[in-house]
Structure 1
Amino acid sequence: MTENVSIENLKQKALAELAALMTEEALEAWRVAYLGKKSDLNTILRGLANLPVEERKSVGAGANVVREELETALKTREHAINEESLKAVSGIDISLPGRPWLSGKLHPVTRIVNEISDIFSSLGFSVIEGPEVELDRYNFDALNIPKEHPARDTMQTFWVDQADASGDRHILLRTHTSPMQVRFMEKYKEPPIRIVVPGRVFRYEATDASHMPMFHQIEGLMVDRNVSLADLKGTLFEFARRFFGPDRRVRFRCDFFPFVEPGVEMAIECAVCKGAGCRLCGDTGWLEILGAGMVHPKVLEGVGIDPQTYTGFAFGIGVERLPMLRYGIDDIRLFYANDLRFLRQF
């Protein structure tokens, strides 16, 4: 029992000294003194062979229990000293719950682009992309918008090259995603063709509640035998039904676009005023979301497709206007103000 008494006294002495320690250096010295190879506890364990057989088991078990208790007490004291050090240095109470990192998510415009692409993919359209810096030929000329055509006045753009000797410039930021109609048909001349083209477009125009110098469009094109205006209306009505729901009213009216003939516009009942008229819809009760029509024969001829054999339709959707109509947002500039209070709602 003498050895057991000495082990217990050793434990009480070690714990008393440990409670008074305040630095990592002192903790290390304590560990060497009470748990190291030359410590009194190890000396007792090495001397078990010299004890009577009846005492070895009890003394050995007691020594191992004390070792475990001292090791646990050392870890606890190390943790307490580290906490106190952090509080002294930073003034932060590390016992408080942590603040989680905010998780990111897709911008609402990106989510809408993905949703629209998924709808048209399910209708048999392939999703492709094109360059934002475009040639004048693809942006205008090949789409039946020659120089001096009045339609160019509605699509003032940003030119990125210098004028040549004749005063013409040829490289610009695209004003619509329609140039990919021509690029795709030039590369894949054999219909059937069914594509949608999402992307950013740029126009040099004043900013207001429904216009921005940079916005997003999704161009659609279908070319095949016997494609008619009825196919166009059926496709766009199905898109509107899936995106807005069956209760939202849709309106088609005649319109003019140089690269389609005939041309139509498609408008959706304003979600803000429910058709009564407000500043978003210009007091009309309707907001145009896309222009469309049957592909002009000159566009097909320009890419080597026989307009006597094949016909097609095309449409261009203004992406930002769709969430405005769906959620009743009355200002397009909110999407690009980087206000997290607005963006977190989606």
Structure 2
Amino acid sequence: MDVFERVNQLIAEIEAATATSPAEVEEFRIRYLGTKNVLKPLMGEMRNLPADRRRDFGQLVNRAKEVAQEKFDALSAAATSAETEREGQDIDLTAPGEPLPLGSRHPISLTMRRIVSIFERIGFAVAEGPEVEDDWHNFSAMNTPEDHPARDMQDTFYVAAGLPAGPDNAAMLLRTHTSSVQARTMENQQPPIRIIAPGRVYRNETISARSHAQFHQVEGLYIAEKVSFADMKATLLHFAREMYGEQTKIRLRPSYFPFTEPSAEMDIWWGLETEHDHRITKGTGWLEIMGCGMVDPQVLLNCGIDPEKYSGYAFGMGIERQAMLLYNITDIRLMFENDVRFLRQFASVL
């Protein structure tokens, strides 16, 4: 058998080769394409050929190498596809998938979203403002001048000296309520105004199971022509029944706030069915949930609104207080400690 026949025989052998696994493909590669492949020694035979046949022989060997490479590529693709198909057959497509870990909304976020949703459905828009506020918008515009005794009701965190002061060199502070958002809205918008202002507020209070130095509020404001106390009561009754159930009863007790006159505290009837009910209502069955009142005419004047033409009401409530009632949380500190064991309890709450 001459060398030409040997090469043609190897080409036929290569074309007829099969492989059903990656291991067999590797054996093919070593035999025909490896560093010691069977085609390499044939090149040494070229010196024994007549000069006029060497060119044809070289081309034939190169053809054998090309056939080997093409066959290797085809066998590799087929073996990979077969392996993938076999692996797929090991998967039970009817079995349930791996469960994905569920995150959870924070109870404060859940409660805030619920409150905001109730008021949005009756036409209130969400308004926001800065948490680092100036004295004017936090106190003075809301009818609380520097010598007003109402300032003693709220222990304030004042911002360190050296930071820019507010209008007319007013001191800067961490807002003690979201009423400052009401002031900013009234300064920049003419009635009718119908807003709610949710957000974080700060007061220098001793941290305990019932109070914290930071907490969240939602305050509401409605200003238009001929707004009455009866309008406010109807709105808050609607809120209470949406929040706590259709049978919820409310009562309004006279109170005092510097930016409303008359002012009231609103209670809901919680009942006295359990020891917990007796404890949180102090044995009365009534539970205070917010303050409210008609906007003081001086506040309207401070913010550039004519009190002879417009009137309005405002209200405000602590979100943590509502969350503690909704989810039977007995310690406000739990909502700020980020204990995963506590937060996981709300994973299924939408």
Q: TM-score, normalised by structure 1?
A: 0.71
Aligned length in residues: 298
CA drift of 1:195 comes to 1.1
Tell me: CA distance 1:150–1:67, structure 2 relative to 1, closer, same or farther (3 Å). closer
Any stretches of 5+ residues in structure 1 without a counterpart?
A: 46-63, 81-96
In 1, distance between residues paired with 2:318 and 2:21?
76
1:59 is matched with which residue? Answer: none
In 1, distance between residues paired with 2:21 and 2:134?
84
2:247 is matched with which residue? Answer: 247
2:295 is matched with which residue? Answer: 295
Q: Is the 8 A contact 1:276 1:284 kept in 2?
A: no
In 1, distance between residues paired with 2:339 and 2:271?
22
1:92 is matched with which residue? Answer: none
**Range that drifts further, 264-273 or 287-296:** 264-273
1:266 is matched with which residue? Answer: 266
2:132 is matched with which residue? Answer: 133
2:179 is matched with which residue? Answer: 178
Counterpart code for 1:204:
N
CA root-mean-square deviation: 4.1
1:42 is matched with which residue? Answer: 67
In 1, distance between residues paired with 2:276 and 2:16?
91
2:23 is matched with which residue? Answer: 18
**Range that drifts further, 276-285 or 240-249:** 276-285
Tell me: CA distance 1:10–1:181, structure 2 relative to 1, closer, same or farther (3 Å). closer
CA drift of 1:332 comes to 1.8
Q: TM-score, normalised by structure 2?
A: 0.70
CA drift of 1:144 comes to 1.5
Name the SS for the 1:316 alignment partner: strand
2:150 is matched with which residue? Answer: 151
Tell me: CA distance 1:8–1:32, structure 2 relative to 1, closer, same or farther (3 Å). closer
**Range that drifts further, 172-181 or 330-339:** 330-339
Q: Using CA pairs under 8 Å that are at least 6 residues apart, name the structure with larger relative contact order, 1 or 2.
A: 2
Q: Is the 8 A contact 2:263 2:293 kept in 1?
A: yes
Counterpart code for 1:42:
V
Name the SS for the 1:185 alignment partner: helix
Deviation sequence 1:118-177 (CA, Å, 0-9, x none): 22122122211011111111111121222232322221011003399xxx9711000000
Tell me: CA distance 1:313–1:74, structure 2 relative to 1, closer, same or farther (3 Å). closer
CA drift of 1:248 comes to 3.3
CA drift of 1:303 comes to 2.1
1:54 is matched with which residue? Answer: none
Tell me: CA distance 1:27–1:239, structure 2 relative to 1, closer, same or farther (3 Å). farther
Any stretches of 5+ residues in structure 2 without a counterpart?
A: 1-8, 38-61, 87-95
In 2, distance between residues paired with 1:335 and 1:126?
27
Query: Which structure is larger by alpha-carbon Rg, 1 or 2?
Result: 2
**Range that drifts further, 271-280 or 118-127:** 271-280
